[in-house]
């Protein structure tokens, strides 16, 4: 496909999505839920077809020499199918955010003013290898009344297209315009560039993938982008911490799933507790295969540590590696977090009321925790039901984004003929 026609295709798809999103915005909740539940049924019924298309992607991936980890992310196994089906049913069961009216107040002029929650319009989703994101993201967008234009990775193109096709068939039989869910069939950078220019048609861009992709999207988009680049999360063990609790939280934060954005990357320990705490936690972490890279003081207290290099501070290892530093005070810990953190998740382990409150108030991150594992920063764990991503920029959403973050609020006014004086 040559350049002009790719551009025209993207514009046409976005135009249809925008138009279709207008009727979706006012679709009754029951009908949206029916579509989601029907889609869950169809995914199971059509699994043979899904598997066939997924195999085309897998075969191409093997030919291209994709790593085992990438092929694993690409595979729509029965387990992944079940998680998509469960996801659809869970989203159907969530309360519909659209139409909620809040804050209605009668004002001195006589008018009554409040806000009504409404969909954003059309979400542009740009993602990499996992094809199950197609279903998860579409489900959340549909429930929140948004159209979605998806541009997945080229290695998952047949899988993404078959999943979208199944959703579109369900939409059509429910008499909903199927243009509310579309996958761009030409998954190259060119198509991304065209998407990012359509600020009249797309209301928000959500990129999910590596830092390179997300930086590219942010730097080239005219449309607001909801994103996080990375998660460099810290635990600060205060002088008043319970040692057992500190060990438990650090172990869980670091080792429960080290390859994700809410895993622990840096451990800060107050000097007064370091002599007690560090040898214990170091031994346990080492037993789990975690490599510890410590400051001079840390290494002298737990000699199995490797001396940290300057580049270890603030690094997102996404692996069984942890940077460790002894600090003289909580202020030093908070200054470190400001300098090296990524505004994702920060936790304090303490029994001091005063310092727990100060940490909670003063640390700037999408989730700030007292005596809890960083691994809790997740839409499901925070009670949002599901998440379409995490934002570490502050506009519109900060932290996990669920259905509410896929909506906005308009002002509504009830009058009886009032005019402005």
Task: Name residues contacting a second copy, limited to 247-306 (CB under 8 A).
Answer: 248-249, 251-253, 256
Cβ 95 to a second copy shortest distance, Å: 14
Instruction: CB nearer to a second copy: give 154 or 252.
Output: 252
**Contact between 386 and a second copy per CB under 8 A:** no
Are the C-beta atoms of 368 and 390 separated by less than 8 Å? Answer: no
**Contact between 353 and a second copy per CB under 8 A:** no
Applying the rule CB under 8 A, the residues between 180 and 199 that interact with a second copy are: 199
Among 77, 86, 109, 288, binds a second copy (CB under 8 A): 109
Instruction: Supply the DSSP symbol for 378.
Output: S
Applying the rule CB under 8 A, the residues between 51 and 90 that interact with a second copy are: none
Instruction: CB nearer to a second copy: give 58 or 334.
Output: 334
**Contact between 227 and a second copy per CB under 8 A:** no
**Contact between 25 and a second copy per CB under 8 A:** yes
d(CA 341, CA 364): 9
d(CA 332, CA 56): 54
Name the helix (H) or strand (E) containing 164. helix 157-173
Structure tokens at 116: 């009504």
**Contact between 411 and a second copy per CB under 8 A:** yes
**Contact between 105 and a second copy per CB under 8 A:** yes
Among 131, 207, 314, 400, binds a second copy (CB under 8 A): 400
Residue holding tokens 């599901």? Answer: 386
Instruction: CB nearer to a second copy: give 99 or 275.
Output: 99
Contacts of 56 (CB under 8 A, 6+ apart): 158
Cα atoms in the 13 Å half-sphere on the side-chain side of 393:
11
**Contact between 107 and a second copy per CB under 8 A:** yes
Cβ 147 to a second copy shortest distance, Å: 13
Contacts of 108 (CB under 8 A, 6+ apart): none
Instruction: CB nearer to a second copy: give 9 or 116.
Output: 116
d(CA 384, CA 401): 8
- What crossing angle do the helices spanning 189-196 and 211-220 adopt, rounded to 10°? 40
Instruction: CB nearer to a second copy: give 268 or 406.
Output: 406
């Amino acid at each position: 496909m040559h350049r002009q026609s790719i551009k025209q295709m993207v514009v046409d798809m976005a135009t249809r999505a925008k138009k279709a999103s207008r009727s979706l915005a006012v679709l009754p909740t029951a009908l949206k839920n029916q579509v989601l539940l029907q889609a869950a049924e169809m995914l199971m019924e059509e699994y043979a077809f899904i598997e066939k298309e997924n195999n085309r992607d897998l075969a191409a991936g093997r030919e291209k020499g994709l790593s085992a980890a990438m092929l694993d992310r690409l595979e729509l196994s029965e387990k992944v199918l079940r998680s998509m089906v469960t996801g659809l049913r869970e989203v159907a069961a969530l309360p519909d955010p659209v139409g909620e009216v809040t804050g209605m107040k009668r004002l001195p002029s006589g008018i009554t003013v409040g806000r009504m929650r409404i969909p954003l319009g059309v979400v542009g989703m740009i993602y990499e290898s996992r094809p199950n994101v197609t279903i998860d993201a579409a489900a959340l967008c549909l429930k929140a009344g948004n159209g979605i234009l998806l541009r997945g990775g080229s290695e998952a193109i047949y899988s993404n297209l078959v999943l979208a096709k199944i959703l579109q068939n369900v939409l059509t039989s429910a008499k909903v315009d199927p243009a509310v869910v579309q996958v761009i069939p030409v998954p190259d950078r060119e198509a991304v560039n065209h998407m990012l220019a359509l600020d009249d048609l797309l209301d928000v861009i959500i990129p999910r993938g590596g830092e390179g992709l997300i930086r590219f999207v942010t730097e080239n988009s005219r449309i607001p982008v909801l994103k996080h680049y990375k998660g460099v999360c810290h635990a600060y063990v205060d002088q008043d911490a319970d040692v057992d609790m500190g060990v438990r939280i650090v172990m869980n934060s670091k080792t429960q799933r080290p390859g994700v954005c809410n895993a622990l990357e840096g451990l800060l320990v107050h000097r007064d507790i370091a002599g007690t705490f560090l040898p214990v936690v170091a031994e346990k972490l080492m037993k789990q295969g975690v490599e510890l890279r410590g400051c001079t003081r840390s290494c002298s207290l737990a000699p199995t540590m490797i001396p940290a290099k300057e580049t270890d501070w603030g690094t997102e290892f996404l692996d069984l590696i942890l940077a460790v530093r002894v600090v003289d005070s909580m202020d030093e810990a908070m200054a470190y977090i400001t300098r090296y953190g990524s505004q994702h998740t920060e936790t304090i382990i303490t029994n001091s009321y005063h310092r727990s409150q100060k940490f909670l108030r003063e640390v700037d991150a999408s989730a700030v925790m007292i005596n809890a594992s960083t691994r809790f920063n997740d839409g499901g764990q925070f009670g949002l039901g599901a998440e379409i991503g995490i934002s570490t920029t502050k506009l519109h959403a900060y932290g996990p984004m669920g259905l509410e973050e896929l909506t906005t609020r308009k002002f509504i006014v009830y009058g009886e003929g009032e005019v402005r004086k």
